[in-house]
Amino acid sequence: MLSVRDAEAIILNLVQPLDPQRDIEIIDLLAADHRILSTPVTSQLDFPHWDNSAMDGYAVRYEDVQHSSDAQPTSLEIIEEIPAGYQPQSTLQPGQAARIFTGAVMPTGADTVVMQEKTRREENRVFILAAPQEQEFVRHKGAFYQGGKQLLPRGVKLHPPEIAVLAAAQCAKLSVYRRPRVAIFSSGDELVTADQILQPGQIVDSNQYALAALVREAGAEPLLLGIVKDHPDALREAIAYAITHADIVLSSGGVSVGDYDYIDQILESLEAKIHIQSVAISPGKPLTVATFPTPHSPLPTPHSPIYFGLPGNPVSAMVTFWRFVQPAMGKLSGLAGGWEPEFLKVRSHHELKSNGKRETYVWGSLHLIDGVYEFHKAGGSRSSGNLINLAQTNALAVLPVGTTLISPQAEVQVLRVALG
Ligand code: AMP
Ligand code: MG
């Protein structure tokens, strides 16, 4: 059976990122949060755009004020007042100063700003009470960024700080990668939707709802194909549709070794290449990963979608999504990097156990205790059939193959799976 690491490597190797020329859309900066830049951004503007004052005070010529002190203040004539947003009208001559405010443009002739706390005002004269540093409190044109250089590279995910930068650079419209499209369906004769009346033996297809939310959280667009009966014809039709309409296909259920688990044989009949059939992970062992030979997708860049046949158990489906599908989606989405899962070393509050045979993921939550993260495993049964205690999960503790026990207060690696 494949190790988790090997499975991850195979999957990431199968993923072809979206095309930065074709798989793009132009969007408004106001709608850019969480989108990924598909083109590097360059601005022609310098930052700051012009020499400006970092203080409320007086723009002066350093030469005039370099010997100022409390005992021997320099007296200067105020020739102009320059608030932020105005173009100075005059040029400073020896013996002159301009009243200036934070962010206002430096007048020609001035090279230094004296903060107002180090001055005394008498009508149209100002007394400089201390010698400033030469060029003090002047923000020079281009000191933060010079026009023409790259401002942001391709593949960056846009968050409020990048959006502020892009706004300042007047990038009101942006080219970003389109959202990956992820087709989702569930297979199982026992499944109904959340709004149907349950008959004996039926359960709700919770995976469809969970996977749709996970896909959206990962920045992609879910294409919900509903519940498909455990019947080869129905499954074949669903899979054939899904692989021509999505970048990634997620099915859940039907990949185990039961009599009604048809997915793998249908994939084979569709000429899929099956790369993975099971992984040494708990929960989640039955995991199918496949690709298809012919790109027949109507999407802008026709490429072969990756098929993930996730286990039907709700916990297994989510764990395998977090561990394998999410990184694949990150790479596919055009992100320049950082899609690999991030493991943190934290303290375990509880004793954690595994049979040591498969890499084991224990669901639970991280808590900040005196500034140190502590992992608390979820209460109740750790059965992959128990989805109830999955609520509030924001981390999975990982017990590697061969580790059967982690004692309370001992260090454990965790995979963060949700923020907050
Ligand atoms: P399977 O992988 O099809 O053998 O399913 C394993 C277990 O997960 C069975 O108990 C199913 O009833 C349950 N299951 C399968 N699909 C879903 C689903 N979409 N939502 C919730 N539970 C499911
Ligand atoms: Mg089933």
Angle at 181 between CA 177 and CA 187, to 5 degrees: 160
Distance (angstroms) between ligand 1 centre and the Cα of 121 equals 80
Supply the mean pLDDT for the chain. 95
Please report the sign of the dihedral spanned by the C-alpha atoms of residue 182, residue 311, residue 307, residue 232: negative
pLDDT, mean of residues 210-218: 97
Nearest-CA residue for ligand 1 atom 6 is: 312
Instruction: Check pocket membership of 384 for ligand 1, CB cut-off 6 A.
Output: no
pLDDT at position 303: 63
- Structure token digits, residue 25: 């859309």
pLDDT computed for residue 420 by the predictor:
42
**In this prediction, what percent of the chain has a pLDDT beyond 90?**
90
The partner residues of 26 in beta bridges, in order of sequence, read 175
Candidate of 252, 277, 278, 308 to mutate for ligand 1, largest count of ligand atoms within 8 Å of Cβ: 252
pLDDT tens per residue across span 51-92:
999 999 999 999 999 999 999 999 999 999 999 999 999 999
Residue type, 40: P
Could you say which DSSP state residue 244 is in?
A: H
**Residue 314 Cα to ligand 1 middle (Å):** 7
| Residue 266 in this model has a pLDDT that exceeds 50 | yes
Residue nearest to atom 15 of ligand 1 (CA): 312
The pLDDT of residue 159 is 97
Determine the average pLDDT of the residues in 378-400.
Answer: 93
pLDDT tens per residue across span 316-370: 999 999 999 999 999 999 999 999 999 999 999 999 999 999 999 999 999 999 9
- Written as one string, the DSSP assignment of 256-277 is SSSTT--HHHHHHHTTPEEEEE
pLDDT one-digit tens code per residue, 123-149: 999 999 999 999 999 999 999 999 999
Residue 261 pLDDT grade (very low, low, confident, very high; cuts 50, 70, 90): confident
Q: DSSP letters along 173-200, please?
A: EEEEEPPPEEEEEEE-TTEE-TTSPPPT
What would the mean pLDDT of 303-318 be, rounded to a whole number? 93
**What is the position in ligand 1's atom list of the atom closest to the CA of 255?**
2
16: which 2 tokens? 């072809």
Confidence grade of residue 299 (pLDDT, cut at 50, 70, 90): low
Q: How far apart are CA 133 and CA 116, in angstroms?
A: 15
What is the structure's pLDDT at 258? 81
Query: Across 163-167, 291-295, 382-386, which has the greatest mean pLDDT?
Result: 163-167
| N-terminal to C-terminal alpha carbon distance within the chain | 35
Q: 403 and 359 in contact (C-beta within 8 Å)?
A: no
